[in-house]
Amino acid sequence: MTDVIMPQMGESIAEGTVTKWMKNVGDKVQRDEPLFEISTDKVDAEIPAPASGVLKEIRVQAGATVPINTVVGVIAAEGEAVAAAPPAPAASAPPAAAAPSTPPAPRSPAPPASPQADGATGPAARPAPSQPAPPVPREPPRPAPSAVPPPPTPTPSPGPSASRADMTVDELRQTRSSPVVRKIAAEHNVDIREIPGTGIAGRVTKQDILTHIEGKPAETPMPGLTPAPPASAPSMTAAKPTPPVSAPSASARVEVVPMSPIRKKTAEHMVLSKRISAHVTTVFEIDMTRVDHLRKKYRQPYEERSGVKLTYMPFILKATLDAVKAFPVLNASVEGDAVVYRHDINIGIAVALDWGLIVPVIRNADEKNVLGLARAVNDLAERARSKRLKVEEVQGGTFTITNPGVFGSLFGTPIINQPQVAILGIGVIEKRTVVRDDAIAIRTMAYFALSFDHRIVDGADADRFMAHLKKGLQEFDESAL
């Protein structure tokens, strides 16, 4: 069987009119013999038969206009069985057999609820061979009730029950935020509306929701975490115009101050570090009398010879570096399932500035002697305060030292500076009464607190490290000066 179709005579042509059939049903046709004529917007043409055989059927009569590619006739090969053709869709004749009392079969896949009057069940469209098929309905099918989708309801979203179309842009920002925020909110089963938003129009940003999910803010606001940027004062950000949703409205008693980028960064890092590392802190009491003695002894010569101010820090640095060399796991980091040992020892020294925290780094500090360390410390601190640090000078640290003792703290539990695994906090260095050889003595003492990441640093490692440090300071080798 070969279909005869309405051809497309020209790119923009979409339909054609059959003007004349040159053959009648039952006539023999030869391939390429003129079979029918058409007329279109562009051209009138004779259409040759696509195959040889017998013109079995004419489906589109002369005078009718149909879309291109419509089957207008059928040619049967000679000797092909003559099958009862399905009735032409144009006429909607009632079936000869018992008319179904059910409504016309819907085109949707749902089968009719009740069986056909003639007892046949199942999908209504399959005709029994001896019965004419039920007529294909001409009117648009009435969908079965079950097939109708419910009218679109607004996705139950946090926020006003009005549909999205009724919400203003700002309302949408506050309640629906952005795709990534919605995703995180869904993952953690959090209502966006309940989170303070620092973005435009009070929008909850990705950082806002992540911070919220981390839970409480850091226990101790200990210095020790670096924001990446160097020390130039960050300009105050554009103040966020709307206060967090859950805060009391701003009034004379409540002042809302948006965070500077450096504060924001610090806040993020503190929380993140706590989440990443298994923080444990161990505290050693170290006798700094000898160091103090050496400091006083060499202060003037250093100043005169090299113009360098000699503080406790170079001594502490030297002893710490020796200890780090002896216990390299304190200078490592964690990457996935691996411990990454770093052979460069880049010590960061936390400096508290008016506008935030900065941690300049002394690269390859272990290659410097006490003089070199003193120089580096002074230089970095001075440039940190005058905002002249370079970007690379606050990056790449492998171990950090912080000095809360400067403000009087006995000792703290500093937060590790990611991706490092240890941070050493120096408490106030002061004279205390201690017991030496069963007698009371007055010595210059300080508590040193090491926070370490218990994922790769065990308590024993940490304590051995501290013991080494303690020894290194208490028995400081004068020849190093």
Partner 1 sequence: MKLNRMVEEKLTNLYRQGKVVGGLYRSLGQEGCSVGSAYALERGDIFTPLIRNLGAIFVRGGRPRDVFAQYMARAAGPTHGRDLNVHFGWISEEGSMPSVISMLGDMVPVLTGAVIAERMKGRRTVALTWIGDGATSTGAFHEGFNFACVQKAPIVVIVENNKWAYSTPTHKQTANPRFVDRARAYGCFGEQVDGNDVRAVYEVTRRAIERARAGAGPTLIEADTMRMRGHAEHDDMKYVPPGMIEEWAARDPIDRYERWLVGSGHARPEELQAVTADLDASLQADLAAAEASPFPDPRSGLSGVYADRRVRPPVPPLVAEWKRRKGRV
Partner 2 sequence: MAVLTYLEAIRLAMLEEMVRDERVFVLGEDVGTYGGAFRVTAGFLEKFGEKRVIDTPISETAIVGAAIGASLMGMRPIAEMQFIDFVSCAFDIIVNYAAKTRYRWGAGVPIVIRGPSGGGVHGGPFHSQNPEAYFMNVPGLKIVAPGTPTDAKGLMTAAIRDPDPVIYLEHKFLYRRLKEEVPEGDLVVPIGKARVARAGKDVSIVTYAAMLQVALEAAEAAARDGIDVEVVDLRTLLPLDEEAILASAAKTGKVIVLHEPTITGGPGGEIAALISERAFEYLDAPVMRVAPPDTPVPYSPPLEETFLPNAAKVGEAIRAIYDY
Binding residues for partner 2 (CB under 8 A):
178-181, 183, 199-200, 203, 205-206, 227-230, 232, 234-235, 237-238, 240, 260-262, 264-265, 391
Residue number with CB closer to partner 1 (98 or 236): 236
Total binding residues toward partner 1, as defined by CB under 8 A: 4
* Smallest distance, partner 2 to C-beta of residue 159, A: 19
Peptide bond into 179 cis (omega under 30): no
Give the pair of three-digit tokens for residue 221.
């606001």
Distance between CA atoms of 74 and 436, rounded to whole angstroms? 116
What 8-state DSSP symbol labels residue 139? Answer: S
Task: Tell whether residue 256 is a contact of partner 1 (CB under 8 A).
Answer: no
Which residues 6+ apart lie within 8 Å of 145 measured at CB?
none
Residue number with CB closer to partner 2 (102 or 237): 237
* Smallest distance, partner 2 to C-beta of residue 176, A: 13
Residue number with CB closer to partner 2 (309 or 387): 387
With CB under 8 A as the contact rule, the residue among 165, 238, 252, 391 that binds partner 1 is: 238
Task: Tell whether residue 239 is a contact of partner 1 (CB under 8 A).
Answer: yes
Q: What are phi and psi of 260, to 5 degrees?
A: -75, 160
Give the residue numbers annotated as catalytic, written as ranges.
454, 458
265 contact, one of partner 2, partner 1, none, CB 5-8 Å limit per kind? partner 2
Q: Which residues, numbered 319-348, are part of the site for partner 1 (CB under 8 A)?
A: none
Residue number with CB closer to partner 1 (241 or 307): 241
Residue given tokens 């006798």 in the structure block: 287
Distance between CA atoms of 184 and 213, rounded to whole angstroms? 9
Q: What's the full length of the chain, in residues?
A: 481
Residue number with CB closer to partner 1 (241 or 336): 241
Residue number with CB closer to partner 1 (129 or 241): 241
Task: Tell whether residue 156 is a contact of partner 1 (CB under 8 A).
Answer: no
Cα Dmax for the chain: 132
295 contact, one of partner 1, partner 2, none, CB 5-8 Å limit per kind? none
Distance between CA atoms of 113 and 103, rounded to whole angstroms? 10
241 contact, one of partner 1, partner 2, none, CB 5-8 Å limit per kind? partner 1
181 contact, one of partner 2, partner 1, none, CB 5-8 Å limit per kind? partner 2
Task: Tell whether residue 428 is a contact of partner 1 (CB under 8 A).
Answer: no
Task: Tell whether residue 259 is a contact of partner 1 (CB under 8 A).
Answer: no
Q: Which residues, numbered 268-307, are part of the site for partner 1 (CB under 8 A)?
A: none
Q: What are phi and psi of 173, to 5 degrees?
A: -60, -40
The CA distances from residue 435 to 156, 290, 442, 467, 471, in Å, are 70, 16, 9, 19, 17
Task: Tell whether residue 408 is a contact of partner 1 (CB under 8 A).
Answer: no
Residue number with CB closer to partner 1 (53 or 199): 199
Distance between CA atoms of 139 and 65, rounded to whole angstroms? 21
The CA distances from residue 379 to 292, 355, 389, 426, 462, in Å, are 22, 19, 10, 20, 30
* Smallest distance, partner 1 to C-beta of residue 239, A: 4
Single-letter amino acid code for the residue at 17: T
Distance between CA atoms of 92 and 136, rounded to whole angstroms? 8
The contact pattern for partner 1, residues 168-207, with x = CB under 8 A and - = no contact, is --------------------------------x-------
Distance between CA atoms of 348 and 226, rounded to whole angstroms? 9
Single-letter amino acid code for the residue at 445: M
CA dihedral of residues 471, 473, 474, 475 (deg, nearest 10)? 80
Task: Tell whether residue 241 is a contact of partner 1 (CB under 8 A).
Answer: yes
Residues at the interface with partner 1 (CB under 8 A) = 200, 238-239, 241
